[in-house]
Structure 1
Amino acid sequence: MISIQVSLRPQSPVAVHPLLPEQKLTTSAQAITTEQVIANFLASNEHQGKFGSIRSIYMNDGTRVAFVGTGNIDKLNLQKLRSLASKTAQKLNKNNIETADVYLTELEVAGVNLADKVQAIAEGIWLGLYTFDNYQTKEKDKQTKLSSINIVIHGDESKAKQALAAAKAIAAGTIFARNLGNHPGNVCTPEYLGEQASSLAHPKLKTTVMDKAAIEKAGFTALLAVNQGSNKEPRFIIMEYRGADNDDAPIALVGKGLTFDAGGISIKPASQMDEMKFDMCGSAAVLGIFKAVIEMNLPINLLGVIPSTENLLGGAAYKPGDIITTYKGLTIEILNTDAEGRVILSDALAYAAEQKPAEIIDFATLTGACVVALGGQATGLMGTSDAIKQSLITSGQKTHDRVWEMPMFEEYQEQIDSKIADIKNTGGREAGTITAACFLSRFVDDIPWAHLDIAGTAWNMKGTDISPVGGATGAGVRLIVDYLQQKVQ
């Protein structure tokens, strides 16, 4: 991560100013229009104001001034500001500029204060510059790269620095989640996930990583059933962060940790099966959130629960038609071994509910049906608590890590009732995302609960302004950290 700072004064020989449509400039840039070279530049440039376009010139004193187009300022919001900062940093990096002052906080965004703008700009820079090239053996590009950015502000420097620190922690958590998702399945195994969870050492954090023997002793039998087809041991990860009073019930975060999902006996099509290394992005989100919360030292109690395994086709693999017993004691009729995420989550949710948290939020790349319904633009949201759901919607709008609620009418529950067991692990094609959530709801008791289906948002093969092509996005991290921040403010 490059160095970013905020200050009231410029620090660099390169200055980046916003350029609004019709050659309009913000306050700091207006002060330099008396320079003839600037006036000539503005008069001759045809593409001024186009969103993300950058044009630069050298001044007579050897300094450099760049103008970045803002597009229609009526549509400017925090996400546009993140994107603009990302595009700016990428262009500076491409042009071998080592350091620059940016004046993007001078842009007016309705309903947004200086701290919000600083956080958005910093997030955009850090996330926009993210790359994952760990497995490329070719010699790395040695040309000069962007090393530092100074965000020039006009206002409360103390609050701006606090916002920058929050942005750094959130970006670090998001990048941590992205890296986990981007590692291949032969590297990011259940054991590796356990090691990464243990790496988040902190005085307020206790981490327990159960191996197969401990899992068997604890009775997480649904996780063990899915694991039968793999020769790699499962892991059951428990994380307890105590940032508030010990008497305060924690918020439980539960993440699906399928480090590779071939579908088991109900094998997936070969096309794009390689992307099933991303099936652990729910667990990556939980770990990324914990990393951010630790770095921010949030005064809140959290419980993290991650069941992790592969879903493969070994001779001992569980089969369609099998009936398995869960940690909670409920029995499941297995109709499709590729509906395994909800099976392992049943043990994790039941364990989390047993700890009596204040609420439970789970994250899972759970259903292809959610991708069909929402594409990659929003995470599916379901649950039993209107208060949690509304707060998640609000945080999603602010962070652009968006969610969209789907109904959970009582009638949907009938689709997962089994004639020979308590429930079955798929309710059929109709309302597949919703019936998967209905399945999970049987394991949370009366604890307020929300389910986030990130199947469409956890990775993006096309890429976005703040997320690279063909990689994990870190979906859920920025959403939940903002959600937690609102609880402690």
Structure 2
Amino acid sequence: MKITSFRPDFNLIKQDLLTAFYFEDQDTASFTALKQQSPVLIDDLVNKKVLTAKLGSVTPLIGHANLPCSHVLVIGCGKSADFNESSFIKTLKTLAAEAKKAVSTSVAVAIDEIKPAHRSVQWSVEKATETLLTSLYQYDATKSQKAEPSALTHIAYIASEENLELAMKTGKSMAHGINLARELGNLPANICDPAFLAEQSINLADAYDEIDVEVIEEHQMTEMGMGAFLAVSQGSDKAGKIIVIKYNGGAVGEKPHVLVGKGLTFDSGGISIKAAAGMEEMKWDMLGAASVLGTLSAIAELKPAINVIGVIATAENMVSGGATRPGDVVTCMNGKTVEIINTDAEGRLVLCDTLTYVERFEPASVVDIATLTGAIVVGLGHHATGVYANDEQLQHKLISAGLSSWDRGWPMPLWDDYKVDLESPYADFRNVGSRAGGSITAAIYLAEFTKNYSWAHLDIAGTGWNSAKEGASGRPVAMLTQYLLDRVQ
């Protein structure tokens, strides 16, 4: 995709599609240009209420005389005072959908006109690029009839500000990372299994000199005493793996920032088997791993001067004669014992040993990302990622990165009061507490394995995907990428 910008002059538009933004309470330059060139047409459409300023409404103008280009979309933006970041994204998604239908090859976007208050033109260009490119994503990997590729090959921003190249590049790289995470998440579990994720990681290393990959197999986990991880993977015929992806962009010896992704490529629940209805959605239990790969892809493309290590804890949670039973007690890598009350609380088991493992990197920070609990969906819905941390500054930095990238998170507590729920008479602790505060007690469990470094946990069960129809969202790739870019000195 070619992405450029040019100074505001509607007489110089060479693209075949122009978006004119129409607010209820003020005229934009693009809408004014339309009225000046086609006053009778525009007045007639307004009087007949064909053209409306309702947010997300679209009025296509094709084949009329005196238009700035062959195809114009008038997109309603509501009231200017109410136009915010969410309105901005809805407007860009509307534009992308209409551009697909119009089979346009190039589009001109007057980005200054829809810049949200308190946001810069740089931010608007970056977020618009990300939104347009992710809106053009189509899944067809397992369909016999492939989707028609988008005809759009050129996005041109009409902007009063110059030097927008970095914003375009950042938005483009974020979009590539988000779409990679979505593609991995949407693939079925018979294709996207632990070995497949390892293969994709190796492909990433082949594409970028800055990336190295190491794959840790189950026999190595046994030697390291990863009893919790192996308790999950032992029920499957497919071996679990820990995939270590190192991006070496910073100085030698500079402490890395570590991302740990939960990669349960299918979660049947194990012996504590899930209900059949909706179980097909459990292919999405690896979205934490997908977000790590997506973020590393974006970082490798942008090449910031920072060291990052992505660690993917991947396995299947299946039912077999060799599967772990409720009531089993296992020993974790750090020597702690865990009574497994519910085998469907498996994500915290693969993560806890992996979180112990990453101590060896002497990390500057560790962030794990997991579709961990249904409780976070009850608490926050599908809009905000739950952000836990043993370091308030780290929690603040992640939430700030989420606000900056509009991939938002919400702070959650890690109070000692909740620890009583994990007490066990047969082990150091159990792997689940009561249903009340289930997302918090899951994070409390993970916190037991992160005492030696600054750590945060992102519960993305509500934000990693919204519905079977929409598929994987690619969140929180934008938040994570922004967090890492903010760490560059």
Question: TM class, shorter-chain normalised?
Answer: over 0.9
Distance 2:121 2:183 in 1: 30
Partner of residue 445, structure 2: 439
- Measure, in 2, the Cα distance between the counterparts of 1:329 and 1:306: 22
> Residue in 2 aligned with 1:182?
186
2:137 maps to 130
Shift in Å at residue 400 of structure 1?
A: 2.7
Q: Is the 8 A contact 1:10 1:152 kept in 2?
A: no
Residue 307 of structure 2 is matched in structure 1 by 301
Which of these residues, 248, 256, 266, is aligned with residue 260 of structure 1? 266
SS of 2:426's equivalent in the other structure is coil
Q: Which runs of 5+ in 2 are unaligned?
A: none
Alpha-carbon distance in 2 for matches of 1:11, 1:440: 55
Within 5 A, what are the aligned runs for 1:237-316? 237-316=243-322
Q: Structure 1 residue 446: deviation in Å?
A: 2.8
| Residue number in structure 2 paired with 1:420 | 426
Aligned length: 478
- Are 1:392 and 2:395 counterparts? no
The answer to whether the 8 Å contact 2:333/2:356 transfers is yes
Write out per-residue CA displacement over residues 59-84 of structure 1, whole angstroms, 9 at most, x where no aligned residue: 42573332111112212223322221
Greater mean deviation of Cα atoms: 258-267 or 444-453 = 444-453
Q: For 1:348 and 1:294, how far apart are their aligned partners in 2? A: 23
Corresponding position of 1:55: 59
**Contact between 1:10 and 1:150, CA under 8 Å: does it hold in 2?**
no
Q: Choose which of 342, 345, 358 in structure 2 pairs with 1:339.
A: 345
Letter in 1 for 2:482: D
Does residue 1:20 correspond to 2:19, yes or no? no
Q: Which amino acid aligns with 1:112?
A: R
Aligned to 1:485: 485
The structural deviation recorded for 1:435 is: 0.8
Q: Does the aligned pair in 2 maintain the 1:181–1:280 contact within 8 Å?
A: yes
Task: Give the secondary structure class of the aligned counterpart of 1:459.
Answer: coil
Name the SS of the counterpart of 1:412 in structure 2. helix
Does the 8 Å contact 1:392/1:483 carry over to 2? yes
In structure 2, the residue corresponding to 1:314 is in which secondary structure? coil
Displacement of 1:38 in angstroms is 4.4
The Cα offsets for residues 210-256 of structure 1, whole Å up to 9 and x where unpaired, read as: 23333333433322221111001111111121211122211111110
Aligned to 1:165: 169
Name the CA distance, whole Å, in 2 between partners of 1:411 and 1:326. Answer: 24
CA contact (8 A) 1:380 1:453 kept: yes
Q: Contact 2:262–2:370 at 8 Å: present in 1 too?
A: yes
Q: Which residue of 1 aligns with 2:455?
A: 449
Counterparts of 2:345 and 2:33, CA distance in 1:
62
Q: Distance in 1 between matches of 2:369 and 2:112?
A: 34
Contact 1:323-1:334 within 8 A present in 2 as well? yes
Instruction: Using the TM superposition, name which of 411-420 and 53-62 deviates more.
Output: 53-62
Of 44-53 and 122-131, more deviation after overlay is shown by: 44-53
CA distance in 2, matches of 1:11, 1:121: 20
Q: Does 1:4 align with 2:3?
A: yes
Note the C-alpha offset of 1:430.
2.1
Percent identity for Structure 1 against Structure 2:
36
Query: Which residue does 2:470 correspond to in 1?
Result: 470
- Find the partner of 1:85 among 92, 102, 116: 92
Task: Give the deviation of 1:343 after TM superposition.
Answer: 0.4
- d(CA) in 1 for partners of 2:144, 2:33: 48
State the distance in 2 between where 1:204 and 1:82 align.
33
Residue 215 (structure 1) aligned with residue 221 (structure 2): yes
- Equivalent residue, structure 1, for 2:107: 100
TM, length-normalised to structure 1: 0.93
CA contact (8 A) 1:11 1:150 kept: no
How far off its partner does 1:317 sit?
0.4
In the TM superposition, residue 280 of structure 1 has moved relative to its aligned partner by 0.4
Residue-by-residue CA offset, 1:86-105 (whole Å, 9 max, x unaligned) = 11111121133332212133
Q: Check conservation: 1:374, 1:456, Cα contact below 8 A.
A: yes
Which deviates more, 434-443 or 217-226? 217-226
Kept in 2: contact 1:79–1:120 (CA 8 A): no
Secondary structure of 1:51 counterpart: coil
| Greater shift in the superposed pair: 50-59 or 24-33 | 24-33
User: Would the alpha carbon gap of residues 387 and 45 (structure 1) be closer, same or farther in structure 2, given more than 3 Å must change?
Assistant: farther
* 1:330–1:91 Cα change, 3 Å: same
CA RMSD of aligned residues (A): 1.9
Secondary structure of 1:471's match? Answer: coil
Map 1:366-405 to 2 at 5 A: 366-405=372-411
Q: 1:122 to 1:41 in 2, by over 3 A?
A: farther
Q: Deviations over 1:391-429 (max 9, x none)?
A: 222222232322112211111112212222111111121
**TM-score, normalised relative to structure 2:** 0.93
Quote the residue 1:30 is aligned against. 32
Cα separation, 2, equivalents of 1:65 and 1:322: 65
